Amino acid sequence: MNMMAIGMAVTGFAAVMVAWGTYLGAIPSGRVPVRPVGAIGLQLVGVGLAIAAIVSSFRDGRSPGVAVILPAAFAVMMASFFFYLFSLRKTPVGDLKVHVGDTLLAFEAMTADGAQFRSDSLAGKRTLLKFFRGGW
């Protein structure tokens, strides 16, 4: 057993998970960083450790055991998934049909209670209308 390789793989996995946890924890409070340098840096360190762990255990002349492969693979998988999601962050703006000074476009929708909602009912009221991505 290459204890150093196991240690590196587990530390790498822990680094990736700490980055994920910190990042996800920032979402509900609306404190998501524009450039998550810490989360990205920490995950690159984690992936580096995971790869180093696998290389190190191969150098031993034996194949790396489950204790190395499992955390190392998860570290690489989770970090790749983070980078993939991060690459999708841009939204296609520019198609907006209304501008400041325009009148609200009349619309109809259903409320969460299943009642019909018409934008006429907003007449005489100040409203903050938010379009959001939905519950998840």
Partner 1 sequence: MQADLDEYGVSLLALSKDTVEEASIHRTRDKLSVTLLADPKLEVIRQYGVEHQKALGFTTGSFQLFGIPFAFVPSYKSMAIPTSLLVDENGVIRWLDQTDDYRLRSSEARVLQAVKSAFT
Choice between 3 and 132, CB closer to partner 1: 132
Q: Are 107 and 120 in contact (CB under 8 A)?
A: no
Contacts with partner 1 by CB under 8 A lie at 30, 32, 34, 85, 88-93, 95-105, 107-114, 117, 122-136
Choice between 30 and 61, CB closer to partner 1: 30
Place of tokens 């690489």: 76
Choice between 1 and 33, CB closer to partner 1: 33
| Least Å from the CB of residue 128 to partner 1 | 5
Q: Which residues contact 67 (CB under 8 A, 6 or more apart)?
A: 1, 6, 9
| Least Å from the CB of residue 119 to partner 1 | 8
Choice between 51 and 122, CB closer to partner 1: 122
| Least Å from the CB of residue 37 to partner 1 | 14
Closest alpha carbon to 119 in 105, 100, 99: 105
| Least Å from the CB of residue 67 to partner 1 | 24
Q: Which residues pair with 118 in a beta bridge?
A: 108
Angle subtended at Cα 17 by Cα 12 and Cα 21, rounded to the nearest 5 degrees: 155
How many CA atoms lie within 13 Å of 98's alpha carbon, on the beta-carbon side? 8
